[in-house]
Structures are given as C-alpha cells and as structure tokens.
Amino acid sequence: MERNEILEKLNEIFRDVFDDDSITVTEETTSSDIEDWDSLTHITLISEVEDEFDIKFAMKEVVGMKNVGEMVDIIEREA
Amino acid sequence: MSFTTLNFLFFFAIVFWGYYLIPKRWQWIWLLVASFVFYAFSAWWALFYLAGTIALTYGGARWIDALEGKRKEAIKNCPKEEKSAVKKKFERKKRGVLAGVLVLLVGLLAFVKYTNFFLDIGFKLMGGEGESPALSLLVPIGLSFYLFQNIGYLIDVYRGQYEAEKNPFRFALAISYFPHLLQGPLDDYKAVSTALYASREFDDSLAVSGAKRAAWGFFKKLVIANQAASICNPIISAGGGYDGLSVITCMVLYAIELYADFSGYMDIAIGCSRMLGVPIAENFRSPYFSGSIAEFWRRWHITLGTWFKNYLFYPILRSKWCSSIRKGLKKHKYIANTLPNVIALCIVWVLIGLWHGANISYVLYGIYHGGFIVLETVFAPLYDKFHKKFPKVQKNVFFRMFRVVRTFALVTVGYYLFAPAAISLTKSLILSTFEWEWSEFVSFGYYNFRELLVVLFSTAVLVFVDAYGCREDRLPLSAWVAKQKAPVRYLLYIALIFSILLLMVYGGEAMFAYFKF
Amino acid sequence: MKRFFVKSVSILLCAFFLFYGMTALLLFGGPKAFAENYQQGYIYQYRALERAEGEKIVTVGGSNVSFNVNTDLMTSLTGIPAYNLGIHADMGYCYVFEDVEPFIGKGDKVIFPLWPFTKNDYGSTLIWITLEGQPDLIGNFISRHPVEALTSVGSFSLKKLYALTAGKFADGLKAKYGDETAWGYKASSFDPETGNMTYVREEPVSPYGVMLLNKFRFTPNNLSGWYVSYINGFIDRCRAKGAEVYLTYPTIMRESLAMTEEEIESYTSFAKEQFHAEFITDFLSVCYEYEDYFNIPTHLNSAGMDKYTAALANGLRNAMA
C-alpha cells in the first residue's frame, strides 16, 4: 500500500475512535496533538488499526511509537 | 543515608570533586563504588539484596539475548515451513526465562515486604483472634524501587527494545546509581545508562543548574515538609481528640508535607545527578494544579505511573482475554472499548495501592484513586458531549479553578487513608472532622502559630514556583533566574540558603516520607 | 571547575556569615525576647549558685525540683543555705549536671530525685532560649558541645525573631482565648535573687480525671548501664572534692503510679544496690494524694511543696547524723 493510502485509512480510524470529524492526521501527529489520545485510548486505537490492516504490533512498537509516521512505517512493513 | 544530612553533603562533595578529577575512563566505576558505599550506609546487609537482584536480572537478560541470537540463527538455517514453529519454540523459551526471573524477583519483594500482610489477612479470614503470626523481616530500603527498575529492564530486553548489557558492572551502575536508588525516579534504562557510561568534562552551567535544583530541594524538605510535619504528624498519629477545623488544616498540611518531601527529594536527586552530568527523569510537574485525578497521576510520581502503564496496564489490555472481550462486544462499541480499560484500571490501581505498603489502607487508597479514574473513563463520552455543547465552559477561568480546587480536595480526602496508614485512625480522623469547636481551633492556631507562619510563607513561595512552571509553554523559574545579572543571581542564592538556615527543622525525626516504600 | 568551586564556596560562606552573624546579634544583644519566659528561672538559680559561699545544699533535676523544693524552707529546716538547679526536664539532665558540677565543693550536699535520662539528651531548643543574653553561659555551651550547639542555634534565631514580632499577636490570642493562668510558667514565678519558685499555688488546677491520664512506671530497665555509671561517676567526683550526694525519689501522685508493690520493691532495691549514694527517702512516702498536686502528677502545689521539702530535709538530717 502507498503511504498516503495508509494515512487516509488511519485518519478514518482516528476520527472514529476519538469521535471527532475535524481530526486530520499527518506523519508528524503525536499524542499531544490530539486531546483525547492518552494511555487509555492508545490501546483502543492500536487495536482498531491492527484489525483494519490485519497486522499485529509488537509490544515494543506500541510503547515506543512516537508519532503517526512511525505507525505508518510499521504498517507499510507488515501489511 | 538521607539526603538532608551533613553526612550526605560531605559524601556528595567527595563524589562530585573526585568524579571530575579522576581519569575519564574510570568515571563510571567511581559512580558504581560511590553508589554501593551510599547504600551500605543505609544497611550493609541490604547490599546482598541489591547485588543479588542485580545479578539475577543481569543473568536473565543475557540468557534471553542468547536465546534471541539462537533464534535468529535457527530461522536463517531452517526451511520455510518450519520457520513459524521455530519462532514459537524460541518465544516459549524466552518467555520461560522471563517468567522464571520475574517470579523470583516479585517473589522476593512479596516475601520480604508482604508476608506478614498476607498472613494477617489469612489469619483473620480463618477467624483467628488476637495477634496474627508474623515473621520478623527487615525490608531493605529502596527495594520496591530498584526491584521495579530491574523488572522494567528485563521486560524491555525481552521485548527487544534494546540488547542486554554485557558488562555486569555497568549494568549494576545503572540500577544502583545512588540518586535514583532509594526513591526513584524509575528511569528509562536506555536513556540513563547511555548518560552514565559516557565520560564527561566538567560543565559549569550544568553544575550551577544542578546545584540550584538541589538547593531548592533542600528548601522544600527542610523548611516546608519538616515544618508542616511537626504540626500535622502528632495530630494524625493521635487520630482523635481534635476539632474538625484543626483536623482539616492538618490534612491540608499533610498534602503539602508529602509533596514537598517527595518532590524535594527528587529535586536533590535530579540536581546532584545533573551536577554529575547525568540527566534523570522528572517525577513531578506541579501536581496540585491538576484538573482531574487522571491528570494528577500524570503529574505526581510520574515514573511510577509510566512503569505501571508500560509493564502492567498495556500488557493486560493487549492480553488475549482483553482482546477477546473487545472483539466479542464489537457490536457495542462503547462497552467494547471501555470495559477492558476498566478491568485493567481496577487491577493496576489495586496493585499501585499495594505497592505503597503492606497495609490495607494503601490498597484502599489505590482503589479510591482508581475509582475516580474509572468514573472518568466511563463517563468520558458524556463529558465530551457536554463540552461540545457548551464550549465556553471549558475555557472559563473559574471553571478551570474549580477543577483544580476540586482535584486538590479529592486528593486531600484520599490522604485520610494514606497518612495514618491505619483504618482505626482514619475512622477517628473522619469522625473528628465533623466535630467543630471554634475555641479549640483557635487554640491549635496559637500553639502552632510560628510553625504555621513558616509553612504559609514557604508554601506561598512553592505555589508561586510551581504555578510559574506548570505552564507547558514556559521554562521553569530557574531559567528566568539564570538570565538575571550576576549580583541578582547571587543575591537570590544567598537568600535561599539563608532561608533554609533560618527556617529549617533539622533532626532525627526528619526522615523522608517515601523511604518506607 | 575552580571557578565553580570558588563561586559556590563564597556563596555558602556569605550566607553562613549573614546567618550566624544575625544569630550572634540576637543571642548576645538586642531587645530581650525571653526575659519573661519561664526559662529565666534557670538563670536566677544559676546566678544564685554563683554567688553562694560556704557550705550549701543543691537539689538538681528538672521541673520536679523547681515546683517541689522550697529552698527558703529547706534552708530554715536544715540551717544550711539551699539552692535549686533545674526547672525543665526538656533542657536535658545532662546539661544541668554539667552546669552544677563546677559549683560543688567541700562540705556541699547534692540531692538528686532519681529520674532516668539518656545519653546526650540536650534540649538545645530550650537551652538557647535560656541562654539569651548570657555570654558566659553561651560560651560554656558552645565549648562543651560545639556540634550540637552550632547545628541547633539556627532555630533560636527564628524563635526570637518570631517572639519579637508575630509572637506578640499569638500571645494576645492566647490571653484572649486561652488559659487564664499560665500555670506558673513565667519568669515572675521565681524570686530573682534566690531562684526559688515563690508563685503561690493554692490547689490543683487540673481536674483529677485529666491527671489520671498520665501514668508512671519505673523498672530496673529504665536504669541503663550507661545511666548508672554516669550518675555514679558524678557521685564519685563529688566525693573526691569532699562533697556528698544524696539520692531520693521524685514525687508522683499516688494514683498515677502504674506499679504494684512488688514492682516498686524490685525497682528500689535495684537502685539501692547500683548507686554509690544512699537514698534519704523511700519511694512511696513522697507520693501524695491529688490535693497536694498542681497541674500534672509530678508538680506539687505550695502546700505539697512544703511537705516534700520537709521530707527531704528530714531525710537529709537523718543521713548526715
């Protein structure tokens, strides 16, 4: 898949999980950019992404992910 | 060795000067020796626990790494169909080593710290009367902290975040490093070890900044915490016999005392470490300015929260049965997402409570705080709807102040459980809170007038510093100080030291509150 | 690195000079904050001892001496000038013993109501308040215990600054809302010439029930090895100078004693064999009823004070005969 396809799909997921249609994620988006993105919603987000792309994140990736761009990297690699 | 003693000042002076005078390649060895000497001052027998847990963790991590190496080899050399079977075999082996070492480490902590607690519960459950059986076990100081540091490292290695440290002495240094040994912060292993093993030149600005930070910690502990403690501790230990307003005042004083004590210790640790050129993690970020309990725990004892998040909360949420709950309830999105969180939160908060001590009061304290966080999680969509409908409320300054005051009040009520650490005392303190007698409160006031004035003045300074620093977009006050001209800066430093000498309470009773955890 | 060393040391020294300079000023000069404080009684007693000439009786201890031994009466009953040294146990018995020893000479009689204490119990807080404006005594304290003195003197500055300013407000509150009497805890309770407590205490001020809340119990374990050798050392040194030490028991309200007869017997016989001096009274006969006491079970009112003094004078006369 292309990176911007992935990004678009992620955008949908983000909007769904955070129930906010105004969200637009870029490769630089981090958890401090989205108000409700905390440790509680992080796992929900991860699970939805895993379901959507049929991949499984390793624990170190879940914990170590710094921004959406890194998420895209992993998806690109695994999917 | 407590930080606020002359002994420690001499010790650190020697460590600091020696560090920059010796050949650079010995610097980390110097720190290792210093850390063990430091720990030996607390109790020489405790060195066995420290060395033992370090050796065990070091061995476990190396073994896991070796298995990982074997796995890579095996995968390279084996046919495609067998690849996943091989992978699974090695995963099982690695998990076995991890589980084995974790059982030993956690078992050690449980045995040393919690045996009597569980014996007591078991005894009472079986209807026993009188004193329950107990082993007389001495708990080595700092065990809860360096054991957690060890566990975090081992799990990180297992997860493949970094390779195990090959040099056992270097590993020992990262764990036993004296600034974070006894009360944390629970540092990120990679960050702190990289800094520790690097050799360094003397850096004037780091030394000055570190010294300022440590001095501020001394002020918080010797002046604010000790003075507040001298007023409120006798009343809290007595439990009863005081009027409501006095008790409430004491609980607020305890809130101030605990914060000043613990964060003061952190300031000294961070400051001393910075003077040695080693950055360690922040543990506090103006916590009493939080708007919610969840936010409070992101600002109070930050590294403990992060530790539990990384090594307990996330693993629970990512576990098979949490995932199956989420999948099973996929139709009801809200429940599917919220229920696993609530379950994980309950488990984590009971354990955070228990971590603080082998006492039912601490467990209840964990449940108290966890309860609010669960409520926040459960009602999150309602809050969101409300704030979307009335967006002005969130920005209103009075609403923000209300949230801060409310959070502080809730936390202070929680201290009714935490401070006396005995249910009977908690009960009588709560009952006393509702018996108001104005003349008794005035009595309390003038008997403690001097100490109250000192606490008031010093807390005002603390509030100013914290309020200044709690805004994310602004550097802390120390940065402002650094920009002033030399005479102004020196005057401020002299004023700080002068205040400490004038207002401090020094003495044997002045132990750090978090030492017993 | 040298710059950092020089900078930090100079800043520290600056702060120290400013602080200890101010402390010295407050200690030695300026307006007196504690002139009316109860601790002044100790200075009256000390100065009276300084002026004493010839043979004398000195009773040493804590407030169990100032409240319970009437030196005027003791003098008239025994014919020997009597002095007290001791007004508050929290000053530290070690401190009082160190102060009294230089004054003991040939022919003197020292009376000590046996009370256990620990090594290095210096109540520096109270000591500094007592020593305000007394340069010779300040010098003594610093030279005897420099570390203890210098680490504790800081709190004196705070107390004095407070007493001269906000403390007055607190005292006003206390006067308005608090106890009408300070229960004798004032400098004016003492005769400045003799150091004797002349404050008239007509009857108990604490209710009986409140008195009962304090219980007292002594066992041989309270008389530690260190304590016994400390007291015996004092006794031997006094004897070597030609003086004599007489032990007695402190007065405690009967009902506040949480000891059976056997326990009293075991305590007193243990004490008798351990100490190098004789006891001039026994344990129970100086323990009186509620009517003789004042605010706590170890402080007598004026009538009780005379009773206890007479018992000591009697015991002393018998022992000297």
Chains B and A touch (3+ CB pairs under 8 A): yes
Measured on CA atoms in the order B264, B267, B269, B272, is the torsion positive or negative?
negative
> Best of A33, A39, A44 to disrupt the B interface by mutation (most B CBs within 10 Å)?
A39
Say if residues C153 and C122 touch (Cβ distance below 8 Å).
Answer: no
Domain residue extents for chain B: 27-199, 202-284+420-517, 290-389
Distance from CA of C213 to the nearest CA of B (A): 13
Size of interface A-B (CB pairs under 8 A): 39
Residue A55, domain extent: 3-78
Residues 6+ apart with CB under 8 A from B381: A19, B334
The model's confidence at residue C181, banded by pLDDT at 50, 70 and 90, is low
Say if residues B378 and B342 touch (Cβ distance below 8 Å).
Answer: yes
Report the pLDDT value the prediction gives residue A64, as an integer from 0 to 100: 85
Q: For residue C213, with 0-12 CB atoms within 10 Å meaning exposed, 13-18 middle and 19 or more buried, which class applies?
A: exposed
β-sheet bridge partners, residue C279: C247
Rg from Cα positions in chain C: 21
N-term to C-term CA, chain A: 8
Considering only CB atoms, which chain B residues are within 8 Å of C18? Answer: 494, 498
Report the pLDDT value the prediction gives residue C179, as an integer from 0 to 100: 61
The model's confidence at residue A18, banded by pLDDT at 50, 70 and 90, is confident
- Three-point CA angle B286, B288, B290, nearest 5°: 85
Indicate the residue type of C108.
D
> How many CB atoms lie under 10 A from the CB of residue C102?
10
- DSSP, collapsed to helix, strand or coil, labels residue A34 as coil
Considering only CB atoms, which chain B residues are within 8 Å of A59? Answer: 159, 314-315, 318
Considering only CB atoms, which chain B residues are within 8 Å of C4? Answer: 202, 204, 207-208
Considering only CB atoms, which chain A residues are within 8 Å of B326? Answer: 47
Distance from CA of B457 to the nearest CA of C (A): 13
Considering only CB atoms, which chain C residues are within 8 Å of B454? Answer: 158
Please give the tally of structural domains in chain A: 1
> How many CB atoms lie under 10 A from the CB of residue B264?
27
Say if residues B183 and B515 touch (Cβ distance below 8 Å).
Answer: yes
List, as own/partner pairs, every contact residues C148-155 make where C-beta atoms lie below 8 angstroms and the sequence separation is at least 24, other chains included.
Answer: C148/C120, C148/C122, C148/C124, C149/C124, C151/B6, C151/B506, C152/C124, C152/C125, C152/C128, C153/C20, C153/C23, C153/C27, C153/C124, C153/C128, C154/B501, C154/B502, C154/B504, C154/B506, C154/C19, C154/C23, C155/B505, C155/C124, C155/C125, C155/C128
Measured on CA atoms in the order B233, B239, B241, B244, is the torsion positive or negative?
positive
How far apart are the C-alpha atoms of B239 and B424, rounded to whole Å?
Answer: 8
Which one-letter DSSP state was computed for residue B161? S
Residue with tokens 């040695």: B276
How far apart are the C-alpha atoms of B112 and B116, rounded to whole Å?
Answer: 9
Which one is predicted more confidently, C62 or B331?
C62
How do the pLDDT tens digits run along chain B, 517 residues long?
888 888 899 999 999 999 999 999 899 999 999 999 999 998 888 999 999 999 999 999 999 999 999 988 888 888 888 888 888 889 899 999 999 999 999 999 999 888 888 888 888 888 777 777 777 778 888 999 999 999 999 999 999 999 999 999 999 999 999 999 999 899 999 999 999 988 889 999 999 999 999 999 999 999 999 999 999 988 998 877 788 999 999 999 999 999 999 999 999 999 999 999 999 999 999 999 999 999 999 999 999 999 999 999 999 999 888 888 888 887 887 888 888 899 999 999 999 999 998 899 999 999 999 999 999 999 988 888 888 888 888 788 899 999 999 999 999 999 999 999 889 999 999 999 998 988 888 888 888 899 999 999 999 999 999 888 777 666 778 888 888 888 999 999 999 999 999 998 875 444 455 555 5
**Chains with ≥3 Cβ pairs under 8 A against C?**
B
Report the pLDDT value the prediction gives residue B439, as an integer from 0 to 100: 84
What CATH number does residue A7 fall under?
Answer: 1.10.1200.10
List, as own/partner pairs, every contact residues C233-242 make where C-beta atoms lie below 8 angstroms and the sequence separation is at least 24, other chains included.
Answer: C234/C97, C234/C101, C235/C275, C235/C276, C235/C277, C236/C276, C237/C101, C238/C101, C238/C104, C238/C108, C238/C110, C239/C276, C241/C104, C241/C105, C241/C106, C242/C105, C242/C106, C242/C107
Chain C: residues touching B (Cβ < 8 Å): 1, 3-4, 7-8, 11-12, 14-16, 18-19, 151, 154-155, 157-159, 161-162, 166-167, 169-171, 173-174, 177-178
Closest to A40 (Cβ–Cβ): which among B156, B323, B341?
B341
Report the pLDDT value the prediction gives residue C172, as an integer from 0 to 100: 77
Which one-letter DSSP state was computed for residue C207? -
Q: Tell me the two tokens of residue A14.
A: 């983000």
Check B294 against A38: CB less than 8 A apart: yes
**Chains with ≥3 Cβ pairs under 8 A against A?**
B
How far apart are the C-alpha atoms of B155 and C42, rounded to whole Å?
Answer: 66
Check B20 against C4: CB less than 8 A apart: no
Considering only CB atoms, which chain A residues are within 8 Å of B341? Answer: 40, 43-44
Check A47 against B326: CB less than 8 A apart: yes
The model's confidence at residue C1, banded by pLDDT at 50, 70 and 90, is confident
Check C157 against B502: CB less than 8 A apart: yes
This model of the complex carries an ipTM of: 0.91
From B334, B423, B424, B336, select the one nearest B380 (Cα to Cα): B334
* Predicted confidence (pLDDT) per residue in C263-275, tens digit: 999 999 999 999 9
Measured on CA atoms in the order B196, B201, B202, B207, is the torsion positive or negative?
negative
